[in-house]
Chains A and B, each alone.
Chain A
């Protein structure tokens, strides 16, 4: 175990010189990075780079939500982005990433799913959200969540001819959105809580907590990681910090 990161934290320092509550710079969004996608975005978050793309199709609704569209979120830990990621079907880490992003979007009711209904009980839109890191320098969750939101925000419906999608032909109608959730991840290193852990810190944190926050400051999804427990007071501190920092991240969406 790398105790240097912890020793540094106890002295009030981080390995990359940031303050405990300081996000990496720059956080940048570029949309429209694939013209075949209904929506797409590339997020550069410090040295972490993540792509997200939206593809759409129509299909039958789920039996318990006959008047609502379907969201399917996938993530691959592309071996291109990190020497430790290997080719093969998504493992637990990739599936966790996809599900954490999915919950942020789904539970915040970001997408107005009822407006994705074409004919109740028969035909609804399916939104495929796919996430691929290009360079992993830590905190893929926050970068991927931001890329997902930016890609959805930029997405338009493809043309529909009867019950068939005319692939490659786009309308100007955007996917109806209610709000934009932002996910912010905190990590506990020794006794200290830091925001936006970088790769070096991810190797040595005790606990991480990812929190999806709406513009109003409501929390919509959380995910704890790490093999160590968390006090209620620590969780409270982390959530409050996530709400505060998410407002700062949100500025790049404007």
Chain B
């Protein structure tokens, strides 16, 4: 059975409807909410903080630590609270996705802690989490040379698609998931994972589609940042 029409009626290269808000958690140094379709992620940044144990410290620059977690009620089958092997890995790749955009030379021996929590999951939680975290870092005033925009591409049946939802990920003929994060100005890929089955040619096509979709992510991110800080430059 070929996948001829997307379950939710989107075009194959169409990203889900997005929404973002910056500054949603008052206690945090920076925070944001990012919504992609039915996936909702919150991110909060605290820092710069003293870093212990001290062997983790880097005397030339600050570090970041990511903590990704899905909350128990974010999925249909309750997730037991606490970290899992999956969440630990996503935390690690999210750190790697965000770090290249940051300039942390002014913060030796410190850490910026980034907490990413998913309150409603419909596939693409790591990408929504990275989009939220990039906004939270910008909101925290961390020096950045670029934003980080993330989206998953993949293959549903025989079709290359952008931003798969859960129904597509569970497609009975098989689906391939390929989450990507790109720094939009430099075009550099900072997150690249895949599971499934694709040819090198298909991957190139998918990555090209991802890069195009990223423009839309960036637009939503920039608007959310502008919405929070508009008027400030006139003061």
Contacts and interface: CB of A to CB of B under 8 A. Distances in A.
Interface of A: 33-37, 40, 47, 49, 51, 53-55, 57, 74, 76, 78-83, 87, 89-90, 128, 130, 132, 134-137, 167-168
A134 B132 CA distance: 15
Given A51-B119, A79-B67, A89 B82 contact: yes
B25 A51 contact: no
A130 B115 contact: no
A183 to B, nearest CB: 21
Contacts of B120: 33-36
Nearest to B44: A80
A47 B31 CA distance: 14
Contacts of B83: 87
9 smallest beta-carbon distances between A and B, as pairs: A53-B73, A55-B78, A168-B76, A37-B73, A80-B115, A167-B76, A130-B72, A80-B44, A34-B120
Given A33-B119, A35-B120, A36-B120, A53 B72 contact: yes
A83 B72 contact: no
Given A35-B120, A83-B49, A135-B25, 20 more contacts: A33-B120, A34-B73, A34-B120, A36-B76, A53-B73, A54-B73, A55-B73, A55-B78, A74-B72, A76-B81, A79-B67, A80-B25, A80-B31, A80-B117, A81-B27, A87-B115, A130-B72, A134-B25, A135-B26, A137-B27
Contacts of B44: 80-81
A137 B25 CA distance: 10
A78 B69 CA distance: 10
A54 B113 CA distance: 29
A136 B25 CA distance: 9
A81 B26 CA distance: 9
Nearest to A33: B119
Given A78-B117, A80-B115, A34 B74 contact: yes
B189 interface: no
Nearest to B77: A167
B46 interface: yes
Contacts, number: 86
B71 interface: yes
B: contact size bracket: 20 to 34
B71 A79 contact: no
A228 B120 CA distance: 42
Nearest to B82: A89
A36 B120 CA distance: 6
B20 interface: no
A29 to B, nearest CB: 16
A135 B23 CA distance: 11
Contacts of B40: 34
A35 B38 contact: yes
Contacts of A137: 26-27
B42 interface: yes
16 contacts: A36-B74, A36-B76, A36-B122, A49-B25, A53-B73, A79-B46, A79-B115, A80-B28, A80-B44, A80-B115, A81-B44, A82-B27, A89-B82, A130-B81, A134-B42, A137-B26
B75 interface: yes
Nearest to A78: B117
Nearest to B83: A87
